[in-house]
C-alpha cells in the first residue's frame, strides 16, 4: 500500500528520455535558477541537464566518516555557487515527459555537465549518453563529491530496495542500507529553504502546503506516510503535486 505514494513522490528529477525537439531549436541563454543538481530554470524554460543524473534534493548519502549527509542539497548548492552570476547557453536536445527541455549547457563557456560529473555531484547517465564516462572515472579516483563516502546511484535511489547497490570510496558501515534507502524528508526540514510540505490525501493526490497554509502545522512529516519536503512551489508542481485549497 505504501509503495505507490513513495514512488509517485520520488519522481522528482526522473524522466530522462524524451521526445525529439524541433530541428534547429534556438539556444536558451541567460542566468539560471538552480532547482537541483541536474535541473535549472532559465526565464520560463525548465531545463533538465542531459547525459547526467544528480541526486534528488531529498536523497541521503554517507560522508567519508560514515555520517548521514544530505548530498542532494549539497549537489544543488554547489552547482548554484559555481554558476552564480554566469551566463548559461543551453543547446536543446529533446523534451521529456514532464515538459522539460533536455539540453547540454555551457556555463561561462564550460560544459556544466562535465563539471558536475568530474566534481562528483552527478553521475554519467550511460543509458542515454557515454559523453561523461571519463569524468565519472576521474571523480571516482579523486573521491570527489559523493564519491568521498557511500551512496546509491540516483537512478537506483528512485526505485530503491534492499538489494540496491551501494557505491563510493568508503566501505559502508553496518546499517548503511537503512540510511541510504531512506529520504531526507523526515520530521525536520532538510534545509532552511526547503519548508514546503507534501503529503498524499485519501484520493491518492499529492498536495503541497506552504508554511502559511491553514493545515501546515497539522501535516506530520513521516516518510512511512509518503510525505516529503519541497524547496519551492515549482519543485512541488514538477513532482505532480497541487497546492492545498485551504
Domains and CATH numbers, the chain: 3-184 (2.40.50.90)
Q: pLDDT higher for 71 or 235? A: 71
> Does residue 209 have a pLDDT over 50?
yes
> Does residue 2 have a pLDDT over 60?
no
Cβ-contact 122, 38 below 8 angstroms: yes
**Mean pLDDT of all residues in the chain?**
84
| Range with the poorest average pLDDT among 59-63, 104-108, 235-239 | 235-239
Q: pLDDT higher for 211 or 172? A: 211
| Range with the poorest average pLDDT among 1-5, 23-27, 32-36, 164-168 | 1-5
* Alpha carbons 75 and 56: distance in angstroms, whole number: 9
| pLDDT of 59 | 87
Reading the block at residue 68, the C-alpha cell is 548521514
Unique residue bearing C-alpha cell 520530521: 187
Q: pLDDT category, 204, cuts 50, 70, 90? A: confident
> Does residue 1 have a pLDDT over 60?
no
Neighbouring-strand partners of residue 230 = 196
> Does residue 3 have a pLDDT over 80?
no
* Alpha carbons 113 and 110: distance in angstroms, whole number: 9
Percent of the chain whose pLDDT exceeds 70: 85
Residues in the chain, overall count = 246
Q: pLDDT category, 232, cuts 50, 70, 90? A: confident
Count other C-beta atoms under 10 Å from residue 246's C-beta.
7
| pLDDT of 15 | 40
| pLDDT of 246 | 72
> Does residue 65 have a pLDDT over 80?
yes
Q: Which of 8, 68, 61 is nearest to 227 (CA)?
A: 8
Q: pLDDT for 92-124, tens place per residue?
A: 999 988 889 999 999 999 999 999 999 999 999
> Does residue 4 have a pLDDT over 60?
no
* Alpha carbons 189 and 219: distance in angstroms, whole number: 13
Q: pLDDT for 117-172, tens place per residue?
A: 999 999 999 998 999 999 999 999 999 999 999 999 999 887 777 778 899 987 88
Amino acid at each position: 500500500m505504501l509503495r505507490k505514494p513513495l514512488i509517485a513522490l520520488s519522481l522528482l528529477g526522473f524522466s530522462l528520455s524524451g521526445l525529439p525537439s524541433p530541428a534547429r531549436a534556438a539556444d536558451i541563454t541567460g542566468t539560471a535558477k538552480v532547482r537541483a543538481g541536474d535541473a535549472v530554470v532559465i526565464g520560463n524554460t525548465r531545463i533538465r541537464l542531459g547525459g547526467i543524473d544528480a541526486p534528488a534534493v531529498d536523497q541521503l548519502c554517507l560522508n567519508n566518516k560514515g555520517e548521514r549527509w544530505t548530498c542532494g542539497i549539497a549537489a544543488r548548492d554547489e552547482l548554484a555557487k559555481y554558476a552564480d552570476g554566469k551566463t548559461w547557453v543551453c543547446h536543446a536536445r529533446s523534451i521529456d515527459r514532464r515538459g522539460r527541455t533536455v539540453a547540454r549547457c555551457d556555463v561561462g563557456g564550460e560544459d556544466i555537465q562535465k563539471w558536475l560529473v568530474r566534481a562528483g555531484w552527478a553521475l554519467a547517465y550511460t543509458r542515454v549518453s557515454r559523453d561523461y564516462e571519463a569524468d565519472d572515472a576521474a571523480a571516482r579516483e579523486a573521491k570527489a563529491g559523493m564519491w568521498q563516502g557511500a551512496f546509491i546511484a540516483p537512478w537506483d535511489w528512485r526505485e530503491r530496495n534492499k538489494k540496491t547497490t551501494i557505491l563510493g570510496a568508503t566501505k559502508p558501515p553496518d546499517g548503511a542500507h537503512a540510511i541510504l534507502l531512506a529520504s531526507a524528508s523526515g520530521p525536520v526540514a532538510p534545509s532552511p529553504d526547503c519548508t514546503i510540505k507534501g503529503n498524499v490525501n485519501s484520493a491518492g493526490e499529492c498536495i503541497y502546503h506552504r508554511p502559511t497554509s491553514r493545515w501546515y502545522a497539522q501535516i506530520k512529516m513521516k516518510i512511512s506516510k509518503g510525505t516529503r519536503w519541497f524547496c519551492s512551489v515549482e519543485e512541488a508542481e514538477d513532482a505532480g503535486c497541487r497546492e492545498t485549497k485551504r
